Chain A
């Protein structure tokens, strides 16, 4: 992976998560503002029954704090992925983290990744940063697929990750991605499987 691609990948992830954090702050600001609006109207003696809305406002703020906190946790884990040149990685667990981190990118393109239910841990020793980077390359190709695509993702005991793409658009994607992305330690293959969808 070239240096620019590394920066591009890290930038895309960070931009996506910080954009989502702005939405979290926007909800908190509007909700707290609405609560102030209601209390201000009540102070002015206007008859307005806002107790229920104020209570739901508190719940909304609490939910957004939780959402923001999860986003920061994910971004923090991502930032620490470059701490070690090699480490033991459970590829299913790390992929699950990655899919959460990139959920917004998929949502904007209306693409749904459907990872299979996690089985026994599959460990490799590699750079987690480059593992994420390789997944990101696969994801970028998936994001170029038509909207409303559902893409199952499966894992094999041979440390392979398959993005099962079907339909007319599968073939060009497969050509671009078939082959292994070599990581610094073990080899983990990330492949787009070709299913014509017939």
Chain B
């Protein structure tokens, strides 16, 4: 059983990502924020994070490219994509490239927690 799951949050919408991190902390997770793909890749090393929550549309390196690079570094890391697109096309494309799943913004925190627990089955929520 794993407590304090370490989650890398990658999103350029600062107000969103900071607040989401606070909510995850309240729920016993340990979030780390990266505001773009370059930052995420600079801090991501094998076995540092249990899960990555990754926005698809960001300045600089796009989400799908970041996903591919993360998978090169650690193929087993579960990645949940966040998309602002109304269609499922981008999310499905991400899953084809190895993402665990995708969620649409605005998020439902309970749904997010369920996805995290599915992705990392030995998660214990306090």
Chain A residues packing against B (C-beta within 8 Å): 15, 18-19, 22-23, 25-31, 33-34, 37-38, 41, 53, 57, 60, 64, 107-110, 147
Contacts and interface: CB of A to CB of B under 8 A. Distances in A.
A28 B106 contact: yes
Interface of B: 13, 15-16, 19-20, 22-23, 26, 57-60, 84-86, 104-107, 109
Contact of B58 (A41, A53, A108): A108
23 contacts: A15-B85, A22-B105, A22-B106, A26-B13, A26-B105, A26-B107, A27-B13, A27-B19, A30-B16, A31-B15, A33-B19, A33-B109, A34-B19, A34-B22, A34-B23, A34-B26, A41-B26, A60-B19, A64-B15, A108-B58, A108-B59, A109-B59, A110-B60
Given A27-B15, A31-B19, A34-B26, 15 more contacts: A18-B86, A22-B104, A23-B13, A23-B16, A23-B84, A25-B106, A26-B13, A26-B16, A27-B16, A30-B19, A33-B23, A34-B22, A107-B59, A108-B57, A109-B59
B75 to A, nearest CB: 28
Contacts of B86: 18
Contacts of A38: 26
Contact of B57 (A19, A30, A53, A60): A19
**Closest CB pairs A-B (n = 4):** A22-B84, A26-B106, A29-B106, A30-B19
A27 B55 CA distance: 14
A30 B85 CA distance: 18
A26 B12 CA distance: 13
A90 to B, nearest CB: 31
